[in-house]
Structure 1
Amino acid sequence: MAIEAWFMHESDEDQRLPHHKSPPEFVSLEKLAELGVLYWRLDPEKHEDDPELNRIREDRGYSYMDMLDLCPEKVENYEQKLKNFYTEHIHGDEEIRYCLEGSGYFDVRDKEDRWIRIAINGGDLIVLPAGIYHRFTLDTNNYIKLMRLFVGEPVWTAFNRPQEEHPARKEYVKRSFSGAHRFGFAVAAH
């Protein structure tokens, strides 16, 4: 099953709800690719010795990996941490997350500054490009186990919006919004 994404209905309701518009407006994998979002569908049962995951890591230079369990029982100040993750921000590097168990949402901004909600479940590997405005939340199940991947040493620095002068944001806008130069890769569901 491929990843699902849709334009969000903006409201002050619980961030963990799907926030579908009525009627729902789904977003294609091609639209996500235009924004620079990468996607692979893998077998989370094989994550410790998956040749495809190993190939992706080697091809993209993801040399560092760690695991993160997010749920009220395992995270101190869970509600506050969830609010922090949900604050709109960018990173100077890609954000690479492989969902091994559970579920959650990544929200990204499109070229018209609309929110697109991307639902991730066990087996979904997603890469958000450096400089894209985004945020993360769990869904109402309140549990996700993620593999975090990085190029080199891990960097978790979030730069809250506005960040129009940040070098990663400038490069992202140049590559994705100008139309002159696209990212040059497609979203793939394997």
Structure 2
Amino acid sequence: MVSLKIIEKNITIHDPEKVADYLSKYGIKYEKWNSDKLNSEDASPDRILEVYREEVERLKKEGGYVTADVIDINSNTPGLDDMLLKFNKEHWHDEDEVRYTIKGHGLFHINAEDEVTLSVEVGKGDLLRVPKGTKHWFDLCSDREIRAIRLFQNKSGWTPHYTNSGKDKKFMPLCFGPAFIPAENDREKV
């Protein structure tokens, strides 16, 4: 279930409709999809894309996406820590970042235009679309697992462009729900 925390205001929102409304102010799209459509979180990528074909096709038309795939990351993924180092530093992309979570949890931090930092925890059934050019970073939650549908406008445009602002270093990759772990003393809790 989605959780949104507006860090500097110490506000947390759990209601999906209110999360969608708040994120829309920043051009970020949140939707709750029917996760019961899929009989097994461990279904093949082809089966997942088949089950969510209607939703994926709608997004392709809305956003000009040309391809979709399924990414499956867990604590046994070879090179996981190196992979995460690419995305847990503040960056932006030349195209939207679109993720529909099938299994596990992830945490997007958004460096919003008004200098507010948003932390959005996504889990099963959550779709998040972060517009191109939006400064953000991503971490796994303590379960270190996420399986998600990804959509691309052009795979070559999905390269991270790092800001080197250092803002990401102020935040632990924590989640608000059952996967919460304590923060180190020198970092803010989210």
TM-score in same-fold range (> 0.5): yes
Where 1:73 maps in the other structure, the secondary structure is coil
CA-atom RMSD, angstroms?
2.3
Q: Which runs of 5+ in 1 are unaligned?
A: 10-20, 164-190
Aligned equivalents of 1:85, 1:59: Cα separation in 2: 26
- The alpha-carbon distance between structure 1 residues 8 and 82, as it changes in their structure 2 partners (threshold 3 A), is farther
The residue type equivalent to 2:124 in the other structure is G
- Matched residue, 1:119: 121
- Matched residue, 2:33: 42
Aligned equivalents of 2:127, 2:75: Cα separation in 1: 23
Following TM superposition, by how much is the alpha carbon of 1:152 offset from its aligned partner in structure 2, in angstroms?
4.1
Q: What is the 5 A alignment of 1:57-72?
A: 57-72=60-75
Query: Is 1:25 the counterpart of 2:16 in the alignment?
Result: no
- Matched residue, 1:83: 85
Q: 2:94 aligns with which of 85, 92, 95?
A: 92
Following TM superposition, by how much is the alpha carbon of 1:78 offset from its aligned partner in structure 2, in angstroms?
1.4
- Matched residue, 1:151: 153
Aligned equivalents of 1:116, 1:64: Cα separation in 2: 28
Following TM superposition, by how much is the alpha carbon of 1:56 offset from its aligned partner in structure 2, in angstroms?
2.5
The residue type equivalent to 1:61 in the other structure is G
Report the identity percentage. Answer: 25
Where 1:92 maps in the other structure, the secondary structure is coil
- The alpha-carbon distance between structure 1 residues 85 and 152, as it changes in their structure 2 partners (threshold 3 A), is closer
Following TM superposition, by how much is the alpha carbon of 1:54 offset from its aligned partner in structure 2, in angstroms?
2.7
Q: What is the 5 A alignment of 1:158-177?
A: 158-161=160-163
- TM value normalised by structure 2: 0.69
Aligned length: 148
Deviation track 1:131-150 (CA, whole Å, cap 9, x = no partner) reads 11000011011100011101
* Conserved 8 A contact 1:105-1:136: yes
Aligned equivalents of 2:73, 2:7: Cα separation in 1: 23
- Matched residue, 1:4: 3
Following TM superposition, by how much is the alpha carbon of 1:153 offset from its aligned partner in structure 2, in angstroms?
4.2
- Matched residue, 1:139: 141
* Conserved 8 A contact 2:23-2:30: no
Deviation track 1:101-133 (CA, whole Å, cap 9, x = no partner) reads 111111101223232100101111111011110
Instruction: Flag the structure with more relative contact order, 1 or 2, with Cα contacts below 8 A and sequence separation at least 6.
Output: 1
Aligned equivalents of 2:106, 2:162: Cα separation in 1: 21
* Conserved 8 A contact 1:42-1:53: no
Following TM superposition, by how much is the alpha carbon of 1:77 offset from its aligned partner in structure 2, in angstroms?
2.1
Aligned equivalents of 2:148, 2:28: Cα separation in 1: 17
Following TM superposition, by how much is the alpha carbon of 1:64 offset from its aligned partner in structure 2, in angstroms?
0.3
- TM value normalised by structure 1: 0.69
Query: Is 1:129 the counterpart of 2:123 in the alignment?
Result: no
Following TM superposition, by how much is the alpha carbon of 1:42 offset from its aligned partner in structure 2, in angstroms?
1.0
- Matched residue, 1:15: none
- Matched residue, 1:55: 58
* Conserved 8 A contact 1:90-1:132: yes
Aligned equivalents of 2:64, 2:4: Cα separation in 1: 27
